[in-house]
């Protein structure tokens, strides 16, 4: 378990090693599979690990390399995929009992692109049921824990993907982001995550939650690795009618651009939304560092963003209530056997968990006769106002800065009884979805919270990662990533030292130690 273990390396470094013939893809994949079996009992990031298929693909890539052929941009690199994105032949449960036994018959466009570029799909990751949640606790199929503190949530809904990257179980992962589901877990687990512009990445093969907000996004240890994924998954797809047909730059190459002279706006509203003192301190320090990088920072106002959370929790459930009507037991998923059709439909839908039911109810209400104008239409109009706020801001500013989430990772169970307190975790991330903007979360420091205390390994304080959110103009991922990369370079030594320490502490349970922080099933 040393720092130069293959599983501890970034994708960019592994690609160099493989290209130089120093390691094979099989060795790389085996290293990650070993790591998964070492720490998975504690972390619980995966719903399915595709060992055989992964090794077979790795052998194919090694053969290609040996015969002098180019194995693709991600040749031989393991990638984890959130379990709401279809990979042919693998399960695609969406964290729901409804699809617990369903096998995807085709590849999502992003999965196909990954395979074409030589990536090795290593497994499917846990998530809040149908991506509805901010802690992964709404998964019906398992508990995922935050590798930084196993008593805490990894964030959500792409909590499995984020935890897997943080724990060193995989260098790259895909998530989906409807209201912050890539960025918030990235922030909670100390990795980077991007929600691309709506239309930048094809949604074909992503199980729909809220179609006007959903976007697939990458997670990785740093921005450089994130760009490797973006270079592969971005671009037009005729199978997604909302996909945008416009040129895709090389994001990896954009990282070398200078950040000097960029204008950054800090919405004054963003620090009033229940932001914890620790997160605030990290954010203020991050702003100082960005200024040292030559970014010109000014306070701005986005007055309508204070309505974003309410607006989101009308629009997203409304779209979800419609999208999820397809789960009727007729064509796929589980079916409750009953004597009549209607009973079958209703009984089958009992397989939805409490949060999904709550949102279907909320959305159905917002769309129902008598309330459509008052709720759904009003929210759609407020969405226009929020978009206008951003449009105005981007006439003057290149990027907008805020913390990614108001707090660091909370405790498992802390918010499950109070839906509103869970929804608050999304308050800083939903505006980018409502406006369709690209937004990145990049680690910016640590908040100290009380540790487990007591004897043994118990410590007095625990350091939890905090994320900085950088939002950009539509289709200007380059500027967002470039600023994020420059910033990450500045914090990397501190962040990566902590990450290495955290990773070292994992996996002891499977080696016979008594450390066990959370009761519950995996």
Catalytic residues, which ones? 82, 157, 181
Is residue 260 at the binding interface for another protein, with CB under 8 A as the rule? no
Which residue stretch of 54-62, 181-189, 418-426, 507-515 sits at the interface with another protein (rule: CB under 8 A)? 418-426
Separation CA 346–CA 354 (nearest Å): 15
End-to-end CA distance of the chain: 24
Q: Does residue 421 bind another protein (CB under 8 A)?
A: no
Sheet architecture: strand order including 263-267: 46-49, 120-125, 78-82, 172-176, 216-220, 192-195, 439-450, 461-472, 399-403, 263-267, 296-300
Binding status of residue 70 toward another protein by CB under 8 A: no
Closest-CA residue to 264 (of 283, 284, 291): 291
Kindly state whether residue 276 participates in binding another protein, applying the rule CB under 8 A: no
Rounded alpha-carbon distances, angstroms, from residue 358 to 117, 135, 313, 355, 379: 40, 16, 11, 5, 18
Between 170 and 304, name the residue whose CB sits nearer to another protein.
304
Q: CA triplet 79, 83, 85: central angle to 5 degrees?
A: 80
∠ Cα 16 18 22 (to 5°): 100
Out of 249, 365, 451, 505, the only residue in the binding site for another protein (CB under 8 A) is 365
In angstroms, the Cα distances linking 190 to 108, 278, 446 are: 27, 15, 9
Name which position in 56, 380, 517, 518 contacts another protein (CB under 8 A): 380
273 binds another protein (CB under 8 A): no
Instruction: Show contacts with another protein in window 467-496 (CB under 8 A).
Output: 474
Q: Does 103 bind another protein (CB under 8 A)?
A: yes
Under the binding rule (CB under 8 A), the answer on residue 372 touching another protein is yes
Residue 331 CB, shortest distance to another protein, in Å, is: 6
- Which range binds another protein by CB under 8 A, 108-116, 202-210, 252-260, 415-423? 415-423
- Coil vs helix vs strand at 485: helix
Least distance between another protein and beta carbon 514 (Å): 38
Q: Which residues, 6+ apart, have CB-to-CB distance to 208 below 8 Å?
A: 214, 319, 323
Is position 373 an interface residue for another protein (rule: CB under 8 A)? yes
Coil, helix or strand at residue 321: helix
Q: Which of 5, 19, 361, 460 binds another protein (CB under 8 A)?
A: 361
What part of residues 162-191 is at the interface with another protein (CB under 8 A)? none
Is 346 a binding residue for another protein by CB under 8 A? The answer is yes
Among 82, 145, 383, 485, binds another protein (CB under 8 A): 383
Burial 242-257 (b: 16+ CB within 10 A, else e): ebbeeebeebbebbee
**Which among 144-152, 267-275, 284-292, 348-356 is the span making contact with another protein, rule CB under 8 A?**
348-356
Q: DSSP strand E in 191-262: where? A: 192-195, 216-220
Site residues for another protein, window 15-54 (CB under 8 A)?
none
Q: Can the peptide bond before residue 157 be classed as cis, meaning omega within 30 degrees of 0?
A: yes
Residue 59, interface with another protein (CB under 8 A)? Answer: no
Say whether residue 392 binds another protein (CB under 8 A).
no
Asked if 301 is part of the footprint of another protein (rule: CB under 8 A), the reply reads no
- Asked if residue 331 binds another protein (CB under 8 A), the reply is yes
257 binds another protein (CB under 8 A): no
């Amino acid at each position: 378990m040393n720092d130069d273990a293959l599983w501890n390396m970034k994708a960019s470094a592994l690609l160099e090693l493989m290209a130089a013939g120093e390691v094979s893809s099989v060795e790389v994949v085996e290293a990650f599979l070993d790591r998964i079996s070492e720490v998975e009992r504690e972390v619980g990031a995966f719903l399915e690990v595709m060992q055989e298929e992964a090794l077979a693909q790795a052998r194919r890539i090694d053969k290609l390399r040996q015969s002098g052929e180019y194995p693709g941009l991600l040749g031989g690199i393991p990638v984890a995929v959130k379990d709401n994105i279809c990979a042919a032949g693998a399960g695609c449960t969406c964290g729901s009992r409804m699809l617990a036994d369903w096998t995807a018959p085709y590849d999502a466009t992003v999965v196909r692109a990954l395979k074409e570029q030589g990536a090795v799909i290593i497994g499917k990751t846990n998530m809040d049921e149908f991506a509805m949640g901010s802690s992964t606790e709404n998964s019906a199929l398992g508990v995922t824990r935050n590798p930084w503190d196993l008593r805490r949530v990894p964030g959500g809904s792409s909590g499995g993907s984020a935890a897997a990257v943080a724990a060193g179980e995989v260098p790259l992962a895909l998530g989906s982001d409807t209201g912050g589901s890539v960025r918030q877990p990235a922030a909670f687990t100390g990795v980077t995550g991007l929600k691309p512009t709506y239309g930048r990445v094809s949604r074909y093969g992503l199980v729909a939650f809220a179609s006007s907000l959903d976007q697939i996004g990458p997670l990785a240890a740093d921005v450089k690795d994130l760009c490797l994924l973006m270079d592969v998954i971005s671009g037009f797809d005729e199978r997604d009618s909302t996909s945008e047909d416009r040129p895709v730059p090389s994001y990896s190459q954009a990282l070398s651009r200078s950040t000097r002279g960029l204008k950054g706006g800090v919405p004054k509203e963003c620090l009033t939304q229940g932001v914890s003192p620790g997160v605030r301190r990290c954010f203020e320090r991050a702003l100082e560092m960005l200024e040292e990088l030559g970014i010109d920072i000014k306070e701005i106002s986005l007055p309508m963003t204070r309505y974003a959370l309410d607006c989101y929790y009308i629009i997203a459930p409304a779209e979800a209530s419609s999208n999820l009507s397809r789960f009727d037991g007729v064509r796929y998923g589980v079916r409750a056997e009953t004597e009549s059709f209607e009973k079958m439909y209703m009984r089958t839908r009992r397989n939805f968990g409490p949060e999904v039911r709550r949102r279907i109810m909320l959305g159905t209400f917002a769309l129902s006769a008598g309330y459509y104008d008052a709720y759904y239409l009003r929210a759609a109009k407020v969405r226009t106002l929020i978009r206008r706020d951003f449009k105005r801001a981007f006439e003057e500013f290149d990027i907008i800065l805020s913390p990614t989430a108001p707090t660091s990772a909370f405790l498992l169970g802390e918010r499950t009884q109070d839906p509103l307190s869970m929804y608050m975790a999304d308050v800083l991330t939903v505006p980018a979805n409502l406006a369709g903007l690209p937004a990145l979360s990049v680690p910016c420091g640590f908040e100290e919270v009380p540790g487990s205390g007591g004897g043994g390994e118990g410590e007095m304080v625990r350091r939890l990662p905090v994320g900085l959110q950088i939002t950009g103009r539509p289709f200007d991922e380059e500027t967002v990533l470039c600023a994020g990369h420059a910033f990450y370079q500045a914090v990397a030594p501190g962040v990566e030292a902590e990450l290495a320490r955290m990773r070292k502490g994992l996996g002891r349970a499977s080696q016979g130690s008594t450390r066990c922080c959370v009761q519950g099933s995996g």
